Structure 1
Amino acid sequence: MAELAYIGGYTPDTGGSGVGITVVELGSLARLGATPASGPSFLAAHPRLPILYAVGEGERGTVGVFARAGRGAPVPLAQRPSGGSFPCHLAVDPSGTLLAVANYGDGTVTVHRIDGSGLLTCEVRTFPYRAGAHAHQAVFGPDGVLYVADLGADEIRRYLVEGQVAPHPEGPVRLAPGMGPRHMARSGDHWYVTGESDGTVRVYDDGWREVRAVATTSGAAARGNRPSHLEVSDGLVYVANRGPDTISVLSPLTLDPIAEVACGGVWPRHFAVADGRMYVANQRSGGVAVLELKDGIPRPGAEVFAVDTPTCVLPLS
């Protein structure tokens, strides 16, 4: 059961008004503390150690390492260059030995080595890409491959990370032109990907053959929709819709619409599902909305935890 949530967001030097990383008690929504940091727009946790990692989303991108201090604010331990500009996502591999960073600004992807204490010891390799590339998310797959959603190139880039760190010999996966892949999630033998540019969510089989594509919202709202985060939880597919400011609930594989509900704020950048609730980081309305889930469907009338310019919610036990 998750007990705490760490909330990242933009700070004044990165175009926002937040203070850095805020920690909140999930049951009571009590604010437990905050740690100043520059533009920690995405957070990740080490799988075994009480360590957090945060991007510093700026022209000279950084990665910050923080110790989880019990129920208090995280303690800064170290900071190093991300290997590119405007990093917006990072992920730790299941073994806790590698950290991958997606640098949106220049499209590079950087893999860093993690030592036994959770600190970053060296950069393993930086993968540059052609002009117009915008790496937006990095995900370690169960097959020893690092998958990177490239919003600018309409591709899922692939890198080998077991035994060596190198581009995949089969190259990237080409997706639908104009899709703008932003976030992806794996469930069973399938991948689900949101298209920020075309307002879709698509499902692919294990060989990356498209199974189905649907718009995540309908009507007039679909024209201005910019889907952001996606998760598959308890047999349902959830997608956040920026513009319509809703959460869509879809069935797996067929992507049939089940429900679409208000997200409890404006511009839902990210969300997390934990302990029967959905926590939505509404970037432009200054709060994280707490939506109760009933039979997997978010309920309206959300309680809101006030925090400036939130962009990421990370629940942890």
Structure 2
Amino acid sequence: MKALISETLASVNELIATVNHKKDPIVKLYIGGYGPGIFTVGGELTRVASPSFLAAHPTLPVLYAAGELERGWLTAYTTQGALSPLDERPSEGDSPCHVAVHPSGSLLAAANYGDGTASLHRLDERGAFTGDPIVLRHVGSGPDIDRQAGPHAHQCVFHDDVLHVADLGTDEIRRYRLDGAPLDPITLAPGSGPRHLAFDGDRLYVAGELDGTVTLVEGERRTVVPASRDSGQNFPSHLQLDGDFVYVANRGPNTVSVLRAADLSPVAEVPSGGDWPRHFAITGDRLYVANQNSGEVIVFTLKDGVPEPAGQAYEVPSPACVLPV
């Protein structure tokens, strides 16, 4: 069953729609992307431009959006009632594609894919931006001349009070202290193109967009497996840990793979329900998959860790991020 969408704005680049979400009333779901804008599941209409990624403040009713424009922007919204603009500022780079908030709620990090710059932004007691940003520039390249001519910051993750930046262009997980001081990077296989990552204590899991793999990093040891059992071309996108399993979305095969976190052995691989699964989110026993090219978010139920179709879908033009709050 596909939910109905209310559209009230003429500009495709500045539309937010509201979806009536009846089966999960306790979950508020935000969907960002490259088409119309943010879709608020169970909310009301507001405006935003090109919000390719979203993040929530850990303690305040504040939502952050990365405006993936040539001159990137970051926007903060209050979420009590309808989304209401709180603050905005430049992302300090080109084409920001990811934002993350430190667990303390005091910092926001942004990854700018276009020029590889990452940035740190202090947040005040309201969740608004304060002070000057810390700009983290980088240089380097990889063996793929089409995709790795320079750095491409793709994701920011805070772990153990260190900022980790997945750099698709340099095959590194860049590392910084919270004051911006650089630490030694974690190097990955040349041409792997690290896109998204997740931690489980000292264990690091990385989705390689360019070589179609998942890598488990344990100190100097690397365990590398194909992200999909499909023999065709694969460009893994998002990776997430949940319990004993690692989930990864596969663009090309259009599947979601389930791997055992302990050793990356395969558990299952299921169709994503659409074309080009760019992102997904897990909350409770629900999995929401954003299929970018087919314009829909498909809902799955997790049974013993394996996704099964729940019979729900939301029509959302070019979805790129799903955020349950």
TM-score by shorter chain over 0.5: yes
CA contact (8 A) 1:201 1:213 kept: yes
Could you tell me which runs of 5 or more consecutive residues in structure 1 were left unpaired when the two chains were aligned.
Answer: 11-16, 26-31
CA contact (8 A) 1:22 1:35 kept: no
- Please show how residues 43-192 of structure 1 align to structure 2 within 5 Å: 43-70=54-81, 73-130=82-139, 132-142=150-160, 144-161=161-178, 164-168=179-183, 171-192=184-205
CA contact (8 A) 1:246 1:261 kept: yes
**Aligned partners of 2:47, 2:276: CA distance in 1, in Å?**
23
Count of matched residue pairs: 292
1:147-170 deviation digits (Å, cap 9, x = unpaired): 000000000000001xx33112xx
- Please show how residues 1-317 of structure 1 align to structure 2 within 5 Å: 3-10=27-34, 17-18=35-36, 20-25=37-42, 32-70=43-81, 73-130=82-139, 132-142=150-160, 144-161=161-178, 164-168=179-183, 171-205=184-218, 207=219, 209-221=220-232, 224-300=233-309, 302-316=311-325
SS at match of 1:228: strand
Q: Which runs of 4+ in 1 moved over 6 A?
A: none
Shift of 1:146: 0.4
1:13 is matched with which residue? none
Which TM-score applies when normalising by structure 2? 0.87
1:265-303 deviation digits (Å, cap 9, x = unpaired): 111110001121100011111111001111110014742
CA contact (8 A) 1:199 1:227 kept: yes
Q: Which amino acid is 2:46 matched to?
A: T
CA contact (8 A) 1:110 1:123 kept: no
Q: Which amino acid is 1:191 matched to?
A: L
Q: Which amino acid is 1:148 matched to?
A: V
CA contact (8 A) 2:31 2:320 kept: yes
1:82-127 deviation digits (Å, cap 9, x = unpaired): 0000000011111111111100000001101101110001233101
CA contact (8 A) 2:136 2:180 kept: no
CA contact (8 A) 1:211 1:253 kept: no
CA contact (8 A) 1:245 1:267 kept: yes
The root-mean-square deviation of aligned C-alpha atoms, in Å, is 1.4
SS at match of 1:179: coil
CA contact (8 A) 2:119 2:134 kept: yes
**Aligned partners of 1:5, 1:196: CA distance in 2, in Å?**
26
**Aligned partners of 2:211, 2:98: CA distance in 1, in Å?**
21
Q: Which amino acid is 1:189 matched to?
A: D
Could you tell me which runs of 5 or more consecutive residues in structure 2 were left unpaired when the two chains were aligned.
Answer: 1-23, 141-149
Which TM-score applies when normalising by structure 1? 0.89
**Aligned partners of 2:201, 2:180: CA distance in 1, in Å?**
25
Q: Which amino acid is 1:290 matched to?
A: V
**Aligned partners of 1:61, 1:210: CA distance in 2, in Å?**
37
**Aligned partners of 2:77, 2:314: CA distance in 1, in Å?**
23
